[in-house]
Amino acid sequence: MHERPITVSVNGVPVDSIVEPRLTLADFLRERCGLTGTHLGCEHGSCGACTVLLDGAAVRSCLVFAVQAEGAEVSTVEGVASADGELSPVQAALRDCHGLQCGFCTPGFVMSITALLRDNPHPTDEEIREGLSGNFCRCTGYQGIVNAVHQAAETGQG
């Protein structure tokens, strides 16, 4: 295969790389950028563990090729907290509302919730469940996650 040069902004930092066209964005982030918070679960786009924001849209990074992100802004869970380490309102709410247990799905939920609240700052339970229906959690039973979305909405998800 013919490798191609790409430039992607990852959490506000320009990254230049040469990639094979078949390299997924998830693998690019994990292997080339060292950002292992983007988790690979199913690698079929079903579980949502690899969710990142691509130019602001929540996408499954296992289904996007790195070359498709050329010139785009990619936001990962590593870029959500403030520079001094203070948790974002979404992260703090997940902690406070017991919206995580093992943590494997948490980065994908953080990114999906961030996008959801940006687009719908005060969602109903039904809108939350619909908006997060592409993210699977095997531990929490989801109620803590729903509560966390409400808390983040109340405190201003930022």
The pLDDT of residue 158? 47
Which pair of tokens denotes residue 139?
């531990």
pLDDT score for 1:
65
pLDDT for 102 equals 94
Number of H helices, E strands in the chain: 5, 5
Question: According to the model, what pLDDT value does residue 10 have?
Answer: 98
How many Å apart are CA 53 and CA 59, to the nearest integer? 6
Q: How far apart are CA 103 and CA 67, in angstroms?
A: 29
What is the pLDDT, as a whole number, of residue 156?
Answer: 77
Q: Is the pTM of this model over 0.85?
A: yes
| Contact of 38 with 26, CB cutoff 8 Å | yes
Phi, psi of 57 (to 5 degrees): -90, 135
Q: Of 84, 140, 86, 134, nearest to 111 (Cα)? A: 134
For the chain of 158 residues, list the mean pLDDT of each consecutive stretch of 10: 93 98 98 97 94 98 98 98 94 96 96 97 97 94 96 82
How far is the CA of 125 from the CAs of 71, 116, 133, 144, 146, in angstroms? 36, 12, 12, 12, 7
